[in-house]
Structure 1
Amino acid sequence: MGNAFFVVWRESLEAFLIAGILYAWLKANDDSGKGRQALFLGLGAGAGLALLLGWALLSVQDGLSGDALEAFQTGTLLVAAGLITQMVLWMQKHGRYMKARLHADLSAATARGGHLGVAVVAALAVAREGAETVIFLYGLAQGGELQALAFGSVAGFAAAGATAWLAARSLARLNIGVLLRLSSILLLVLASALLVAAIDRMIGVGWLPPLLDPVWDSTLFLDDTSTGGKLIADFTGYRARPALVTLLAWAGYWSVVIGAQRKARHD
């Protein structure tokens, strides 16, 4: 539930902030109010596109079985990990210019297509966040516990709305920049956990050799099958008895992420 809550909170918060930026621009530049109507239509269309993606994923899964289903679910975990990583690295590099970029896109869209252009910009912005959320949740759903996943998703969406509302009114000294930076780190940790889960699946079905299994046994220190240990394992990718190939994949992931962050800081 915690992972679902965090992912939905983070992604929904970005969607709320994007909607707020677009609304503020239209309020200042569109006296007719038709642009804001187009904005709301676009936001609804973006949410609809995300739901359509969810339906498509479930439909594809229902038509698969055996190795094909295993490959599809493993691939979803890898895609989710990659999307999270790409999103965080992109936001760390370009997030400070997001407001200006959205304003520029909206100005250009208004000039080209009027209110339809406004709706398209809003739909694409929200659909991107929503599609990422759907893929992330589908990846998390591979571990079962769908009821907890649903509860965490609803709670995360509500919390995102509350966070955006607080930020808009500058209450409780809420610093969105700090929240987004901290949540970006946690998202990268979660992405590495999804990668580890995918590697475990590939080892389990024989698609990857473990090389050495286990490298160590820390069960006495923290058992990843216990209640607390499983929560930590699901969120961080911790394994009490890790295979060598899992450790190599985890180390490789963080080497790439840290290298990309250093390169971005120097650009």
Structure 2
Amino acid sequence: MFSNYLIGLREGLEAALVVTILVAYLVKTGRRELVPRIWAGVGVAVAVSLAFGAALTYGPRGLSFEAQELIGGSLSIVAVGFVTWMIFWMARAARSISGELRGQIDAAAEGSRWSLVVVAMLAVGREGLETALFLWAATQAGTREAVGSITPTWQPLLGAGLGLLTAVVVGVLLYHGAVRINLTAFFTYTGGFLIIVAAGVLAYGVHDLQEAGVLPGLGNLAFDVSDTIEPTSWYGTVLKGVFNFSPATTWLEAAAWVLYAVPVMTLFVLGVRRRKAASAPAAAPVSAR
């Protein structure tokens, strides 16, 4: 549930920041009459995201088990790709997102009346579609049957909903200047955590493809610690809900987890260090005597 809360918070905060910047810039530049177009674009983006989430949830139910597993595994891998791109993009763009959006809104304000609607819809819709896809994948991973029990689907959805609600509150406070947060630090720490979450979703996607018969090795377990970490226990539930940890993991699942988490985390940490070094003030030159 916590991982889904973090997904909702992070994606929701990105969308809230976009809306806050767009609305605040229009108000400060004396174009308050254009603000309803921003909200119209946000409304369209939310509606499309909800429809996309509903299609993901209810669309595959009439298919065979193998087809459901094939779709689920494929979409889980696609979701990991999207969230990985989002993690690296936001880590780079946290400092410059305000300037980029102001340039877009100036150009849109001078265009047709629908231009601002499209700008807001695309800016918020991208976050909404990514959220719907990744939450669906994480929810599917969290509800995998284990020792005859299934984790209720409302728990990850509740976590995501609370995260989105928190993001809305933070966005309102940011707009009114009540809070100041270090966006670079926020997206750095949450990005590192979400890499681990994404690795678990990827491993789950591989398991789905194994059950669909697309990938081999379903019965070849790398480890089985079900006797030590019972899936129905509170700590097993926590590990499953936060990290998508499976007590019985195949070799292919384990390999997918390692081959994703290690290089992606390494590149992420190196990128963070490189940006910190680039933003640090240059050392004063030593004068020769």
TM-score where L is the length of structure 2: 0.80
2:5/2:162 contact within 8 Å kept: yes
Distance in 1 of aligned mates of 2:82 and 2:239: 22
Q: Deviations over 1:164-214 (max 9, x none)?
A: 344445657643432222111111111111001112223344433339943
CA 1:47/1:189 → structure 2, altered by over 3 Å: closer, same or farther? Answer: same
Q: Bigger CA drift: 162-171 or 89-98? A: 162-171
Distance in 2 of aligned mates of 1:248 and 1:150: 29
Aligned residue among 170, 175, 186 for 2:182: 175
Aligned to 1:135: 133
Once the 2 structures are TM-superposed, how far is the Cα of residue 135 of structure 1 from its aligned partner?
0.7
CA 1:40/1:172 → structure 2, altered by over 3 Å: closer, same or farther? Answer: closer
Aligned to 2:119: 121
1:210/1:245 contact within 8 Å kept: yes
Q: Which amino acid aligns with 1:22?
A: L
Once the 2 structures are TM-superposed, how far is the Cα of residue 129 of structure 1 from its aligned partner?
0.7
Asked if 1:203 is matched to 2:210, the reply is: yes
Q: Deviations over 1:94-116 (max 9, x none)?
A: 23211111111111112222x32
Aligned to 1:96: 95
**Structure 2: unaligned runs, 5 residues or longer:** 144-151, 279-289
Distance in 2 of aligned mates of 1:208 and 1:122: 41
What is the aligned residue count?
A: 265
**Structure 1: unaligned runs, 5 residues or longer:** none
Q: Deviations over 1:68-91 (max 9, x none)?
A: 111111112111111111100111
Aligned to 1:85: 84
Q: Which amino acid aligns with 2:46?
A: A
The structure whose residues are more often helix, as a share, is: 1
Distance in 1 of aligned mates of 2:59 and 2:227: 41
CA 1:156/1:14 → structure 2, altered by over 3 Å: closer, same or farther? Answer: same
Matches within 5 A, 1:230-249: 230-249=237-256
Q: Which amino acid aligns with 2:242?
A: F
Q: Which amino acid aligns with 1:182?
A: Y
2:220/2:251 contact within 8 Å kept: yes
TM-score where L is the length of structure 1: 0.86
Aligned to 1:26: 26
Aligned to 2:149: none
CA 1:135/1:211 → structure 2, altered by over 3 Å: closer, same or farther? Answer: closer
1:139/1:194 contact within 8 Å kept: yes
Aligned residue among 192, 195, 216 for 2:199: 192
Once the 2 structures are TM-superposed, how far is the Cα of residue 245 of structure 1 from its aligned partner?
1.8
Q: Which has the larger radius of gyration?
A: 2
Q: Which amino acid aligns with 1:61?
A: P
SS in 2 for 1:140: helix
Distance in 2 of aligned mates of 1:197 and 1:29: 48
